[in-house]
């Protein structure tokens, strides 16, 4: 892992950059800036012979090899629909009413996310500047 946080135009951290290698040899890159005043998201996902370039919530391109297999431009939906909050909450409430566990909304997945966030912050708090290996104990 390598992580760097910075403060631009303020007294709080608002620039976050991390490179994370997971146990399965996948690599994740996080770059997040919170000083510009605009929400601009761009996601890239790469695998063997496939890549996705996503600009939520309006645009997605998926390539297999060098051939585009999906090109989607959607109308801009209300924020709570576009970012999944509406469907996520609806799905969660239905699960409670039906008294069944909801795989997509379980606490162990939320804990994994928070452990990763805390590991990134802890890496920076220790003042580490070189790539270091850390182990995150994800709950099963």
Residues 62-116: pLDDT tens digits? Answer: 999 999 988 877 665 666 566 666 777 787 788 888 887 766 666 777 787 788 7
The vertex-48 CA angle with 47 and 50, nearest 5°, equals 65
**Which residues, listed in sequence order, are joined to residue 102 by a DSSP beta bridge?**
none
Spatial contact of 137 and 115, defined as CB atoms under 8 Å apart: yes
Indicate the pLDDT class of residue 30, thresholds 50, 70 and 90.
confident
**Residue whose token pair is 């998926």:** 62
pLDDT at 135 over 60: no
Mean model confidence pLDDT for the chain: 76
pLDDT of residue 131: 52
Every domain of the chain and the residues it spans: 41-76
pLDDT of residue 67: 93
pLDDT of residue 108: 75
Model's pTM, two decimal places? 0.57
pLDDT of residue 80: 58
**Residue 81 vs residue 15, higher pLDDT:** 15
């Amino acid at each position: 892992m390598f992580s760097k946080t910075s403060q631009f135009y303020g007294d709080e951290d608002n620039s976050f950059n991390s490179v994370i290698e997971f146990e399965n040899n996948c690599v994740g890159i996080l770059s997040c800036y919170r000083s510009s005043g605009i929400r601009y998201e761009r996601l890239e996902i790469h695998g063997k012979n496939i890549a996705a370039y996503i600009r939520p919530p309006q645009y997605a391109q998926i390539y297999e090899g060098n051939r585009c297999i999906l090109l989607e431009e959607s109308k801009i939906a209300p924020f709570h629909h576009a970012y999944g909050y509406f469907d996520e909450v609806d799905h969660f409430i239905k699960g409670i009413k039906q008294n069944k566990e909801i795989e997509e909304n379980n606490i162990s997945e939320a804990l994994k996310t928070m452990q990763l966030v805390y590991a990134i912050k802890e890496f920076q708090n220790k003042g580490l500047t070189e790539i270091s290996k850390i182990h995150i104990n994800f709950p099963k």
